[in-house]
A and B are shown apart, each in its own frame.
Chain A
Amino acid sequence: MEKTIAGKTISVNDEGFLTNFAQWDKSVGEEIAKENSITLTPRHWEVIDYIQNEVRKESPLSIRKVGKSGVVDIKEFYALFPNAPLKTATKIAGVPKPASCI
């Protein structure tokens, strides 16, 4: 389905995840963050960059992995993206929702 985010027409799935990363830019990320009541700081962007890099490398994401990344620890990850950090952060980053249980 299609949704207007930051003035652009963006393809998203029923959970609001972007289905085409080429349509993502920082303003799209910012608006999705706002929908999730998050104001992005430079710390958020460091995590988002990391997530996008991992997805580019086709390396599967998990909470444990993010915690070991050296970019952010698990406690801060939850503080930056409250509630469901991995889901929220990947949504803002414009990448698919990780199918991870850990």
Chain B
Amino acid sequence: MSNENGKIKKMMIILSKATIENVYAAFVLANGARMEGIEAELFCTFFGLEAIHTKKLEHLHVATVGNPAMHIPTMVGGLPGMEAFATHMMKKEMDKIDMPDVKEFLEILVASGVKIWACKLAMDMFHFKKEDLYEGVEAVITVGDFYHRAEGEGVHLLFI
């Protein structure tokens, strides 16, 4: 942080969740960095892998249980169909503000120069193969590889 007034040069974002609000938060932060001329990389681990898994990425949901900001009683949030309904409502709102869907957002990220990585340990745990992932994903790497990529001045790590 000593040089250039702590200017941010690179954002290293770790996505560990697959709820739609978390995935979008990670994507918006990565894209927003690129828009400002800041480098950005995304490391998907654990459930975050769902955001880059071709069969799953279009079926992400918002969490209606254990999410007080939804203002739905937990028991109601747990009813069948509630997650799908809340997700549908949220997607409608996102569409209104010109928010792309997950697949298109991934394409925007890759075209903008965001590097997307998958966590090796989580891939092994879920028995996912590189071929299962969105084609724009760079590679499957270890956490150590990711830390090495984060070396240098003005690099920030963010866990979502």
A contacts, CB < 8 Å to B: 62-65, 67, 73-75, 78, 82-87, 100-102
Interface contact A101-B111, CB-CB below 8 Å? no
Interface contact A78-B112, CB-CB below 8 Å? yes
Residues in A whose Cβ lies below 8 Å from that of B108: 63-64, 67, 74, 102
Residues in B whose Cβ lies below 8 Å from that of A85: 35
Of the candidates A78, A83, A101, which one forms a contact with B32 in the assembled complex, judged by CB atoms under 8 Å apart?
A101
Residues in B whose Cβ lies below 8 Å from that of A101: 28, 31-32
Residues in A whose Cβ lies below 8 Å from that of B98: 62, 64-65, 102
Interface residues of B in 105-141 (CB under 8 A from A): 108, 111-113
Q: A87 CA to B113 CA in the complex, in Å? A: 16
B34, B35, B108 interface centre (most CB from chain A within 10 Å): B35
Q: Is the interface of A mostly helix, strand, loop or mixed?
A: helix
Q: A85 CA to B104 CA in the complex, in Å? A: 19
B contacts, CB < 8 Å to A: 28, 31-32, 34-37, 98-100, 104, 108, 111-113
A74-B108, A74-B112 known; A63+B35 contact, CB < 8 A: yes
Q: A67 CA to B36 CA in the complex, in Å? A: 17
Interface contact A102-B112, CB-CB below 8 Å? no
Residues in B whose Cβ lies below 8 Å from that of A87: 35-37
- Please, could you name 23 A-B residue pairs with CB atoms under 8 Å apart, sorted by A? A62-B98, A63-B35, A63-B108, A64-B98, A64-B100, A65-B98, A73-B111, A74-B108, A74-B111, A74-B112, A75-B112, A78-B113, A83-B37, A84-B35, A84-B36, A84-B37, A86-B35, A87-B35, A100-B35, A101-B31, A102-B28, A102-B32, A102-B99
